[in-house]
Amino acid sequence: MANEQMRENWTVGAEGWVAHRDLFDRELAPFGEAVLERAQPGPGQRVLDVGCGTGRVTAGAVARGATAVGVDISPVMIEAAERFVPDASFLVADAQTDDLAAHGPFDHVVSRFGVMFFEDPTEAFANIRRAVAPGGALTFACWRGLEENAMFTLGTNVLVEPMDPPPATAAPGAPGPMAFADPDRVRALLGEAGWDDPSVQPFDAVCDYGRDGTDGVEHRLTLILNTTIGRQAQAQLEPALGPDGWTALLDDVRADLRARMVDGRVQLNGATWLVTARNPG
């Protein structure tokens, strides 16, 4: 089945994401807002949010007056989205293979980091396009390279260093957060999938983990431990190191974060592409 590994990853990881939804959403808020600002959904329009997670961007579309449908591969995410955004509709579905057109047509497709996990991205974008009205638009945010995004390494590297074996390194373009780091590949994929006028523009925003007067260290640590690598590190290292050793390692992560704070808070730049395209009219 297409995307089966991602289905498993997000089913396992969804519980931590849902439990700490506010932290994740506040971390990623600037990017979701950028997607909605570029898409400009409004009253009388229908919006499809691909990889909607717990529904923050879906909620933003509803707040702008649109009718919104969120789709995600994770039943846990969709269950949470239905609780948090009762004014939208949600589907547990694989946007690469399931018939989204049956729920369309849509005027806009939006996504905040929800389209980089497809096993066959050309087929996925073609399937999504079939659900879009002629002249309808696609807008999504995806990460640029790992070297530009310290949020994937700061603090996390301290956990990874003692792992044996270490986490597997994804090949360039493989499904995952950095799948669309190459803008030329993104343009080519969209063109092959039948989209017109693909545009890939840089968008950067600061992720500020400090809130309510805190330095953000504990917030950042909580998010790290609820990522795929964080869960892998804890599963491997906590039994091996024992309670005291694991606690000491987490203190090392905290020290790494504190050593690189900006203005007394953990702040990291998020480097993304803001991508747009249009379904031929």
> Which DSSP string do the residues of 97-159 spell out, in sequence order?
TS-GGGG--EEEEEEES-SS--SSHHHHHHHHHTTEEEEEEEEEEEE--GGG-GGGTTTHHHH
Q: What is the pLDDT of residue 9?
A: 62
Q: What is the pLDDT of residue 6?
A: 60
Each domain of the chain, given as residue ranges in start order, spans 4-145+179-206+272-278
Encoded tokens for 17: 């994401």
Alpha carbon distances (Å) from 94 to 98, 119, 127: 5, 11, 10
Asked if residues 265 and 206 have their Cβ atoms less than 8 Å apart, the reply is no
Specify the CATH class of 4-145+179-206+272-278 in words. Answer: alpha beta
Q: What is the pLDDT of residue 46?
A: 98
Tens digit of each residue's pLDDT (9 = 90 or more) over 136-160: 999 999 999 999 999 899 999 999 9
Encoded tokens for 39: 């898409």
pLDDT over 60 at 3, yes or no: no
Tens digit of each residue's pLDDT (9 = 90 or more) over 195-248: 999 999 999 999 999 988 899 999 999 999 999 999 999 999 999 999 999 999
Tens digit of each residue's pLDDT (9 = 90 or more) over 38-65: 999 999 999 999 999 999 999 999 999 9
- Angle of helix 4-19 relative to helix 21-39, nearest 10 degrees, comes to 110
Asked if residues 212 and 200 have their Cβ atoms less than 8 Å apart, the reply is no
**Average pLDDT rounded to a whole number, residues 2-29:** 78
pLDDT over 50 at 1, yes or no: no
**Average pLDDT rounded to a whole number, residues 116-140:** 97
Encoded tokens for 157: 């590297």
Asked if residues 54 and 81 have their Cβ atoms less than 8 Å apart, the reply is yes
- Angle of helix 121-129 relative to helix 183-192, nearest 10 degrees, comes to 50
